[in-house]
């Protein structure tokens, strides 16, 4: 039988109130990881969890646990996502999963369950750090690389200081690591961030795979010169080379190298209207659900960048800034989600996530799955990101029902 209903008013109230934290005049939300707005959102969630009598923990990586943190002697079901955002984001990416996870824990914690259930807001999922990624789920899953330089936060301060402000401890970062035997599974509820569910008029998506990603930082070094006095044949224009590279990267999916490819950031210097650009920086983002294709696409992107640079007589430097491997979600968890939906006669659709998520990292140490709800217009990372209230509540219900089924008796993932 389906479990008790989620508290609709509480769920939507929390989402509305959190959308005001980091809100800009145009309605967007800006909460980079470890920023004052991110810390305020974390304090908000702490107050809400404390009002429900739940234990609160911040681990060394800054991950916020709303409910009992997994520990030896337990096999805990973890539900969660993240509270941080990109610049000028919408109100739902990440935060919807955290709020819904807390809702499920509040409704299930008093039951006599075979496995404990808890919720987590992973730190800095959107990666507002440089030069190396620092994601809370990377630390929790034991995959955080040893820094080769001193990482800095969104505002240029050292990661060590930013992490301390969030309650973490860089010197004890290994203590954030979870062991597989402590975990039953990890499930993340999220807006789709794409158009498929809305187009197909299906309210619940069950994710079968999460694409991998390679992100390259590219620097093109030409020669700045006067725009009026320098002949076209004597130019070493870094921005013109960048323009060719933008189009070459865009063509990678059409040539079947990868699923999608994007250049989302381009900066030129000196960035003057009457000066030839002597320097250009850009990011290349390639994604695919197949690891081999992803690797080949990244290599092809580098080859084309070097080819353009050679032809235009500029120097090119390509550095792999971030990468993640594609992962398949757990088949038994997918069946559990489908069964929960069937009990309420809710239609579902299996689909692949084109965005990266904390579930991608957690899959390295425990069975992991994701539930999607429709995104209106298929958009995300923009102020007008939205999902209907009914779909938000239904997604939270599917998360809670699945969690109840998994934790009600031992061996539920067999």
| CB-CB contact of 380 with 193 (8 Å) | yes
- pTM for the full predicted model: 0.88
| CB-CB contact of 122 with 136 (8 Å) | yes
Q: Say what the pLDDT of residue 127 is.
A: 82
Distance of CA 357 to the CA centre of its chain: 4
Q: Say what the pLDDT of residue 1 is.
A: 52
414 residues of the chain, pLDDT tens digit each: 567 899 999 999 999 999 999 998 889 999 999 999 999 999 999 999 999 999 999 999 999 999 999 998 889 999 999 999 999 999 999 999 999 999 999 999 989 999 999 999 999 999 876 556 789 999 999 998 876 667 787 677 888 898 999 999 999 999 999 999 999 999 999 999 999 999 999 999 999 999 999 999 999 999 999 999 999 999 999 999 999 999 999 999 999 999 999 999 999 999 999 999 999 999 999 999 999 999 999 999 999 999 999 999 999 999 998 788 899 999 999 999 999 999 999 999 999 998 889 999 999 999 999 999 999 999 999 999 999 999 999 999 999 999 999 999 876 676
| CB-CB contact of 352 with 210 (8 Å) | yes
The DSSP code sequence of 102-165 is HHHHHHHTTS--SS-EEEEEETTTT---BSS---HHHHHTT-PPPPSS--B-TTS-BHHHHHHH
Compute the distance between CA of residue 186 and CA of residue 198 in angstroms, rounded to an integer: 26
Q: Say what the pLDDT of residue 3 is.
A: 72
Sequence length of the chain is: 414
Number of H helices, E strands in the chain: 11, 16
The DSSP code sequence of 80-92 is EEE----TTB-S-
């Amino acid at each position: 039988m389906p479990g008790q209903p989620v508290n609709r008013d509480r769920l939507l109230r929390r989402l509305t109130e959190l959308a005001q934290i980091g809100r800009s005049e145009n309605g967007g939300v800006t909460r980079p990881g470890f920023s004052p707005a991110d810390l305020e959102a974390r304090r908000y969630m702490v107050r809400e969890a404390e009002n429900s009598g739940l234990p609160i923990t911040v681990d060394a990586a800054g991950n916020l646990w709303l409910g009992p943190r997994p520990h030896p002697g337990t096999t805990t079901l973890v539900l969660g996502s993240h509270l941080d955002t990109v610049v000028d984001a919408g109100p739902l990416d990440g935060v919807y999963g955290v709020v819904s996870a807390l809702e499920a824990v509040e409704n299930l914690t008093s039951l006599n369950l075979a496995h404990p259930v808890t919720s987590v807001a992973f730190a800095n999922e959107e990666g507002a750090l440089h030069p190396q990624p620092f994601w809370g789920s990377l630390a929790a899953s034991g995959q955080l690389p040893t820094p080769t330089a001193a990482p800095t936060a969104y505002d240029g301060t050292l990661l060590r200081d930013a992490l301390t402000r969030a309650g973490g401890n860089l010197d004890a970062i290994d203590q954030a690591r979870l062991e597989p035997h402590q975990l039953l599974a990890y499930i993340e509820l999220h807006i789709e961030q794409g158009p498929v569910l809305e187009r197909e008029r299906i309210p619940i998506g069950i994710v079968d795979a999460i694409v991998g990603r390679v992100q390259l930082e590219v620097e093109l070094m030409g020669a700045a010169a006067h725009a009026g006095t320098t002949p076209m044949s004597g130019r070493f224009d870094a921005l013109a080379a960048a323009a060719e590279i933008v189009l070459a990267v865009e063509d990678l999916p059409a040539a079947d190298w990868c699923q999608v490819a994007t250049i989302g950031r381009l900066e030129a210097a000196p960035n003057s209207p009457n000066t030839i650009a002597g320097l250009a920086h850009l990011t290349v983002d390639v994604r695919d659900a197949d690891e081999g294709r992803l690797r080949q696409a990244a290599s092809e992107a580098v080859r084309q960048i070097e080819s353009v640079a050679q032809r235009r007589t500029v120097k090119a430097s390509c550095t792999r800034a971030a990468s993640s491997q594609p992962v398949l979600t757990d088949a038994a968890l997918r069946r559990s989600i489908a069964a929960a939906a069937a009990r309420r006669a809710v239609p579902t659709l299996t689909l692949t996530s084109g965005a990266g998520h904390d579930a991608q990292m957690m899959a390295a140490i425990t069975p992991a799955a994701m539930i999607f709800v429709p995104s209106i217009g298929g958009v995300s990372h923009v102020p007008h990101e939205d999902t209907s209230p009914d779909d938000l509540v239904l997604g939270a219900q599917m998360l809670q029902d699945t969690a109840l089924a998994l934790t009600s008796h031992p061996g539920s993932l067999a």
